[in-house]
């Protein structure tokens, strides 16, 4: 087994050292996102307990400020109940007692299985586990080209260049394309033109908060908006309790542009202030940006036909022996990661 990474492995995840463990309540009844998020969440919590990977089951609130948003929470609750994921409404009085700095004018839906994980510790464990099972890793190494040999029947020729400038070439029996932002371009370089896909890059800016109050202990999300490409500028936290806001959605053409867009701060502050009215605006600072690999500009929430919702694309490509494609692995990709690995194993070997 071999794996190529253009950067050091741990650096491939955001520098904040945490990530959300998602409940799986937004993605529709029949999607891979739902199936793999639910299974991945269970596997992730079990792994954290077994291996001592830091995590917190801090829960999540989804807030409604009006009747229209309340209706969206009702849909989310009905769907979560239908797939066996617990959610429940809490009274506004209880919400005020538990999180006095948070404003919810109409309703609060709580997701008790949502949490956060120390993502660097998680990646470090996976790296060590991979290598202990005989896997070889080539960090700081870029894949330049992949060529199928006899449609993959004789393997795949892989050409790489290390950061030192040293080039290498190997032949692999199987090929798993899990290249994130580069996955669609790599797939398009292998598959025929009529099977090409278009990549979409959704840049999200995040903002730190340098004040001790308000400081909620629960993840705070606005009500989902059908058709929106994200879940709104929400409040998350790291393992120390420091809070951050984001991401927003900014469509970009360059998947390498990770600069934080200062022009978006004012709009983000206005959105944050809706649910956190006592925030000190001057204490909200530009932090970092990330880019999500999407397969379309449609809704992040599945509500039915016509919303443009894009599912994960995980497939053993027909006519190319041993080639597994993983495209559009955005959120809830990290939560789903262990279940995705099991699915890839099944596609290849079972």
- The 3-class SS string of 308-344 reads CCCCCEEEECCCCCCEEEEECCCCCHHHHHHHHHHHH
pLDDT of residue 8: 67
Q: What is the pLDDT of residue 347?
A: 97
pLDDT value, residue 309: 93
Q: How far is CA 222 from CA 66, 84, 131, in A?
A: 11, 22, 41
pLDDT at 14: 47
Q: Which residues of the chain fall below pLDDT 50?
A: 11, 13-15
Q: What are the structure tokens assigned to 202, written together?
A: 């959704």
pTM (predicted TM-score)? 0.95
β-pairing, 60-64 vs 219-222, is parallel
Residues whose CB is less than 8 angstroms from the CB of residue 75 and which lie 6 or more positions away in sequence, other chains included: 303
- Residue 9: the pLDDT is 58
Task: Give residue 224's pLDDT.
Answer: 92
């Amino acid at each position: 087994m071999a794996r190529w990474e253009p950067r050091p492995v741990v650096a491939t995840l955001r520098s904040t050292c945490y990530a959300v463990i998602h409940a799986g309540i937004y993605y529709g009844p029949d999607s891979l996102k739902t199936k793999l998020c639910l299974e991945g969440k269970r596997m992730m919590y079990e792994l954290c307990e077994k291996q001592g990977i830091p995590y917190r089951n801090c829960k999540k609130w989804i807030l409604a400020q009006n009747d229209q948003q309340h209706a969206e929470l009702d849909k989310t609750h009905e769907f979560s109940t239908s797939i066996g994921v617990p959610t429940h409404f809490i009274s506004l009085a209880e919400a005020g007692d538990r999180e006095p700095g948070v404003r919810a004018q109409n309703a609060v839906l709580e997701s008790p299985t949502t949490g956060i994980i120390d993502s660097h510790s998680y990646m470090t464990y996976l790296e060590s586990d991979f290598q202990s099972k005989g896997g070889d890793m080539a960090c700081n190494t870029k894949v330049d080209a992949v060529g199928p040999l006899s449609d993959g029947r004789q393997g795949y020729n892989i050409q790489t260049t290390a950061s030192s400038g040293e080039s290498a070439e190997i032949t692999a029996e199987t090929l798993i394309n899990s290249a994130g932002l580069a996955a669609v371009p790599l797939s398009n370089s292998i598959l025929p033109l009529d099977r090409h896909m278009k990549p979409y890059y959704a840049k999200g800016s995040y903002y730190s908060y340098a004040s001790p109050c308000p400081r909620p202990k629960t993840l705070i999300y606005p009500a989902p908006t059908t058709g929106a490409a994200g879940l709104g500028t929400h409040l998350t936290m790291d393992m120390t309790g420091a809070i951050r806001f984001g991401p927003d959605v900014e469509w970009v053409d360059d998947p390498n542009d990770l600069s934080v867009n200062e022009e978006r701060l004012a709009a983000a502050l206005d959105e944050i202030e809706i649910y956190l009215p006592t925030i000190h605006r001057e204490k909200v600072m530009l932090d970092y940006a990330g880019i999500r690999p999407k397969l379309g500009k449609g809704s992040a929430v599945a509500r039915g036909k016509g919303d443009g919702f894009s599912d994960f694309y995980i497939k053993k490509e027909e006519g190319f022996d041993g080639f597994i494609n993983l495209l559009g692995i955005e959120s809830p990709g990290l939560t789903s990661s262990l279940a995705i690995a099991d699915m890839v194993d099944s596609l290849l070997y079972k």
